[in-house]
Structure 1
């Protein structure tokens, strides 16, 4: 009886161990699925879009979020001449880790000759006490293009949530023809997250922040337009790359800036329907 009560009061939660893989090829009908694999809570759906020749992939984590010990990986290959848009059905939620072990989320993107990929998931919401290790790794052909839009939200302001403790390690690595062209690393740790976000060099007191990176042969040509349309935005462009960082009081305000900025940088890839709605 003692053992039975112990098992009832201290359940072992099932961990998420999920993977989704997608390869897309170019045909006379546009960009279509070549190979698809999905396991565990990782699902990929493809909204019908007769007017578009791009392939839009909507990623779903059926577990509803991630917590300590969970693993979720996505990998994509865009074949020659492909136009691929990857987004998420909903915001990814990173819940409190009871034992301090991080959730692990990895993204791998391969972009072949003449292809263009937009990686535009909806916001990642960080809850108090969460721990996350995330990596985005991309390999591009010489004339391929990649747009990345990643947003972080520290708690939901509308719900009155306070985020004091977070452990986050976020790494981006982008190579072109095997040569490193862009690397970025962000780390948050400690029990004073509200104080850290107050720092001007971090978030200026805001709770929602985003990084936007365009790696493309013509990336620099967008800079004047971006600075003219978004004069308060921190942005720069050099050597086939454009980088912008945004902050806002909450997710809704951040979206009002992210959507028009992503539209400017998306080129021939229209914004995903879940963002445009």
Structure 2
């Protein structure tokens, strides 16, 4: 079955969901393997409204895949699971064709869990477009990355709160956000963040900035840290640190585009060293 047929089937399910008001429990499992000079999407399975477009290769053997969520947004009670396995020496880039959305909830929590497993010598870029969290949304999101030996990755999360163009902030709701990064079974980085109305408004929190984000890259060096510091310059709302060989970049801003542009500039500067590929922008970002 092609990705286009998958989307058609899922669209039928969406109509049924809207009429029955049932919660989604969707799963997507992807497995990448290296065969000669090319990475193949050797395994793909899904349940519910999650699938992928057909893989393509704008950079030679590195496999680009777009993750599709046809409903266009996550509502209260939905549960999404994305599990990715990148076998030894395989190279893959995952992104999305549009922003994700978490809608207002009357009490139920929506959940999303992403597990990225990168084996020895493998490369993965996890670069979803921004996630819009509407006022009143309640969500729990976990991204767990497991690395084996010299596995390489760049990953980011860009969040947009409310609808500032309509004068909407984030005066109610909550987002529970976790990042868990392990290497060879040992914790490399663990983070748990609770963003609610208080954190959105407080000076110690987002200070009413409607967008924020985090970028991780590994393995990184002090030279990469210096390069990002040059990019930041005198800009406010930007930060970078290096923990062992894990580079961590932060940004907050009134405009989501500014956070994303900062992360794209960082990726341009470090990509050749981290994932062994020259700078390349997924074409879907330009549409």
| Contact kept in structure 1, 2:100 and 2:131, CA below 8 Å | yes
Cα 1:134/1:234, change in 2 over 3 Å: same
Q: CA deviation at 1:256?
A: 2.3
In the alignment, the residues of structure 2 paired with residue 226 and residue 273 of structure 1 have an alpha-carbon distance, to the nearest angstrom, of: 24
- Normalized per residue, the structure richer in helix is 2
Q: CA deviation at 1:46?
A: 3.5
Offset at residue 155 of structure 1 (A) = 1.7
Structure 1, unpaired ranges of 5+: 1-10
- Matched ranges for 1:15-54 at <5 A: 15-54=23-62
* Unmatched tracts of structure 2, length 5 or more: 1-18
Q: Decide whether the 8 Å contact of 2:239 with 2:251 is kept in 1.
A: yes
Q: CA deviation at 1:83?
A: 1.2
Q: Is 1:135 aligned with 2:146?
A: no
The worse-fitting range, judged by mean Cα deviation, of 45-54 and 220-229 is 45-54
Select 1:274's aligned residue among 268, 271, 284: 284
Is 2:75 aligned against 1:67? yes
2:15 corresponds to which residue? Answer: none
Kindly state the Cα deviation for residue 47 of structure 1 after the two structures are TM-superposed: 4.9
SS at match of 1:266: helix
Match of 1:212 in 2: 215
> Is 1:263 paired with 2:268?
yes
TM-score by length of 1: 0.88
Show CA shifts across 1:52-91 (max 9, x none): 3211121111121111110111010111111111111211
Give the aligned CA root-mean-square deviation in angstroms.
1.8
Contact 2:231–2:265 (CA under 8 A) maintained in structure 1:
no
**Residue aligning to 2:244:** 239
* Alpha-carbon displacement from aligned partner over 1:7-55 (angstroms, at most 9, x marks no partner): xxxx751211111111001122411111111221001113533443211
SS for the counterpart of 1:170 is: strand
Contact 1:46 1:55 in 2 (8 A): no
Cα 1:272–1:96 change in 2 (3 A) is same
Distance 1:158 1:52, change over 3 A: farther
Aligned length, in residue pairs: 261
